[in-house]
Amino acid sequence: EPAPAAAAPAPEQAPGPAPPAGGGEAAEHRALVLTGFGGYEKVKVQARRGGGPRPGEVSVRVRACGLNFADLMARQGLYDRLPPPPVCPGMECAGTVRALGDGVRDRQVGDKVMVLARSGLWQEVVNVPASQTFLMPEGMSFEEAAALLVNYITAYMILFDFGNLRPNQSVLIHMAAGGVGTAAIQLCKTVENVTIFGTASASKHDSLKESGVAYPIDYRTMDYAEEVRKISPKGVDIVLDPLGGSDTSKAFNLLKPMGKLITYGVANLLTGQKKNLMAMAKTWWNQFSINALQLLHHNKAVCGYHLGYMDEEFELVGGVVAKLVNLYSQGKIKPKIDSVWPFDQVADAMRQMQEKKNVGKVILVPEAPKEESKKEEN
């Protein structure tokens, strides 16, 4: 169980907040930098110099970072919310507050926080607006905290705010063993009698069944739409679509009357290490398109969700995080960690996710996990 890990590193934290007093503000730290677009080798560990936090910011000593599909897209030059390289990727991390900028009243040195940003978080030290940090709940490990924000905010908002999920409904979740998929399954379980269909490769079906998927479907060997119809001839109430292209059309056709399709990604663009022009053309060509009048005749809803464009919506996102922290504290959700990789092995971490080998979240940590903390966990 990863829970004790949160308590274990206490001795290390004492030196953390001290440096800013001396000349340590511009101390070097390690960061992962995207040097250009392309394969796994384009993300490199580099030394960076950082100053202290600006007014309204906090400086955070990073202990764990989350890897997301958008980071894989960013490496290929397919993600529109990333500044041009060289740039530090990373949309979520967790760590300890080591210094406060002027005017910050609601955070203290030593606070354990999780951080959400458009990019720039895959570093040992980050300076971020205090409004983009959230206090970690009691008992949560840094790895869990780095696995929570992006996936669970996304899953929560698409299921409840757009999807209006209610008791006795049915949901189709693609990439059900991935980060958002795992989060969505757990959130579905907080509503009574929801039937979950989940697509994933066959090796993951047992773990999906354990987590609450009634009908795992192997998308590699079967037509998932046919499989859903065999069990539920009318289709499903909600389809979560991270795939894009022709799968969005399939999703729309699978909806029951009053059903909702929420599209939130274009994973179909990722076919290999580098940008694939054929896949881009094919996805574009197969892009689902419907006009308002046709929509009228179908009695269905189509929604689009992109957390990257929510960066001004502090109240909205903060409200969702508060609900998630509450669910975590009640034991109703718990981030599932697939694997933890040191910064030096970022290529292997990206490969693990891009080849869809992961069940749950892939986590990056600034240094290799220490032997002592492993002993304490056992």
Residue 103 is assigned to a structural domain of this protein: yes
For residues 165 and 171, the answer to whether their CB atoms sit within 8 Å is: yes
Decide if pLDDT at 244 tops 60.
Answer: yes
pTM of the model: 0.90
What pLDDT shows up at residue 14? 35
* Statement to judge: residues 181 and 143 lie in one domain: no
What pLDDT shows up at residue 27? 85
Residue 99 is assigned to a structural domain of this protein: yes
Q: Name the pLDDT band for 193 (thresholds 50, 70, 90).
A: very high
Between residues 205 and 284, which one has the greater pLDDT?
Answer: 205
From 78-87, 142-151, 220-229, the region with the lowest mean pLDDT: 78-87
For the chain, the domain total comes to 2
* Statement to judge: residues 209 and 140 lie in one domain: no
16-70 confidence digits (pLDDT tens) = 343 443 344 568 999 999 999 999 999 999 999 989 999 999 999 999 999 999 9
Decide if pLDDT at 12 tops 50.
Answer: no
Q: What is the rounded average pLDDT of the residues 82-107?
A: 97
Round the average pLDDT of the chain to a whole number and report it. 91
Decide if pLDDT at 347 tops 50.
Answer: yes
Residue 376 is assigned to a structural domain of this protein: no
Residue 280 is assigned to a structural domain of this protein: yes
164-180 confidence digits (pLDDT tens) = 999 999 999 999 999 99
Closest CA to 145 of 359, 353, 354, 328: 328
* Statement to judge: residues 156 and 305 lie in one domain: yes
Q: What is the rounded average pLDDT of the residues 218-225?
A: 96
* Statement to judge: residues 97 and 225 lie in one domain: no
* Statement to judge: residues 127 and 215 lie in one domain: no
Residue 205 is assigned to a structural domain of this protein: yes
Residue 371 is assigned to a structural domain of this protein: no
* Statement to judge: residues 95 and 161 lie in one domain: no
Q: What is the rounded average pLDDT of the residues 219-224?
A: 95
Decide if pLDDT at 9 tops 80.
Answer: no
Decide if pLDDT at 309 tops 70.
Answer: yes
* Statement to judge: residues 180 and 267 lie in one domain: yes
Decide if pLDDT at 253 tops 60.
Answer: yes
What pLDDT shows up at residue 371? 55
* Statement to judge: residues 169 and 70 lie in one domain: no
What pLDDT shows up at residue 3? 41
CATH assignment of the domain containing 248: 3.40.50.720
265-297 confidence digits (pLDDT tens) = 999 898 889 998 999 999 989 999 999 999 999
Decide if pLDDT at 376 tops 90.
Answer: no
Residue 301 is assigned to a structural domain of this protein: yes
Q: Name the pLDDT band for 311 (thresholds 50, 70, 90).
A: confident
* Statement to judge: residues 195 and 304 lie in one domain: yes
What pLDDT shows up at residue 367? 84
What proportion of the chain, given as a percentage, has pLDDT over 90?
86
* Statement to judge: residues 179 and 300 lie in one domain: yes
* Statement to judge: residues 180 and 299 lie in one domain: yes
* Statement to judge: residues 142 and 220 lie in one domain: no
Residue 284 is assigned to a structural domain of this protein: yes
Domain boundary among 309, 326, 357: 309
CATH assignment of the domain containing 123: 3.90.180.10
State which residues form the domain around 171: 150-309
